[in-house]
Each structure stands twice: as structure tokens, then as C-alpha cells.
């Protein structure tokens, strides 16, 4: 098992699940491709990574809109989604940043 940035590991796991579902004929190849195309994760440098559904290789899109195949980062932190935090936690965070 290769080490991946935690956010990229999430979509790698989802990718594996989609491929498996396709192999056991739970979903079609067309549905699998559509689902894989929607997988996207951001690394600590703000680069958005995805997995090409045709070959399973990692890529990102550069500033000139070129698809660049590359090895993804294998370290980093988790990017928290504020919408997944509890209401109480969001209110606490808001109070910290809000000037009274």
C-alpha cells in the first residue's frame, strides 16, 4: 500500500471501491467513469488532484489547463469541511474570530 496525502487517500479508496463495483457488475463502466471523474481532492499546496478513469493514474490540471500526470504527495494534513463540524463547534470557532 502506497502512502498518500490523507485527502488523496480518501479518493483513492473511493476509486478502488468504484472499480470493484464495476468488476462485479454492480455498476456499468459508463457509470464508473462518471463517478471517477467526480473524484477530486486538494493537497496542502492547493493543488487539486484526481485519478484518470482510463488508466488509474494520478493527475492535476496546471495553470494553462494541461493535464499533468505525476506522483501525488505522500504527506500532508487533513482539510476539514466546516459543514461537517457540529453546530456547537462552528459557533465556538465563530466566536474566536468575531470581534466583539
Q: How many CB atoms lie within 10 A of CB 72?
A: 23
Q: Averaged over 36-40, what is the pLDDT?
A: 95
pLDDT score at 6: 87
Instruction: Name, in order, each residue with C-beta under 8 angstroms of 11's C-beta and a sequence gap of 6 or more.
Output: 39, 40, 41, 49, 50, 51
For the whole model, what pTM was predicted?
Answer: 0.71
Q: Which residue has the higher pLDDT, 52 or 62?
A: 52
Exposed/middle/buried for residue 14 (C-beta within 10 Å: 0-12, 13-18, 19+) = middle
Cell 494553462 identifies what position? 64
Q: Averaged over 16-28, what is the pLDDT?
A: 96
25/70 Cα distance (integer angstroms): 30
pLDDT score at 25: 96
Amino acid at each position: 500500500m502506497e502512502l498518500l496525502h490523507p485527502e488523496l487517500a480518501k479518493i483513492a479508496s473511493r476509486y478502488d471501491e468504484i472499480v470493484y463495483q464495476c468488476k462485479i457488475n454492480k455498476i456499468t463502466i459508463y457509470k464508473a467513469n462518471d463517478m471517477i471523474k467526480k473524484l477530486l481532492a486538494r493537497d496542502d499546496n492547493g493543488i487539486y488532484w484526481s485519478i484518470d478513469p482510463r488508466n488509474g493514474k494520478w493527475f492535476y490540471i496546471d495553470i494553462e489547463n494541461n493535464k499533468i500526470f505525476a506522483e501525488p504527495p505522500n504527506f500532508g494534513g487533513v482539510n476539514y469541511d466546516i459543514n461537517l463540524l457540529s453546530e456547537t463547534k462552528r459557533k465556538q470557532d465563530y466566536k474566536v474570530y468575531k470581534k466583539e
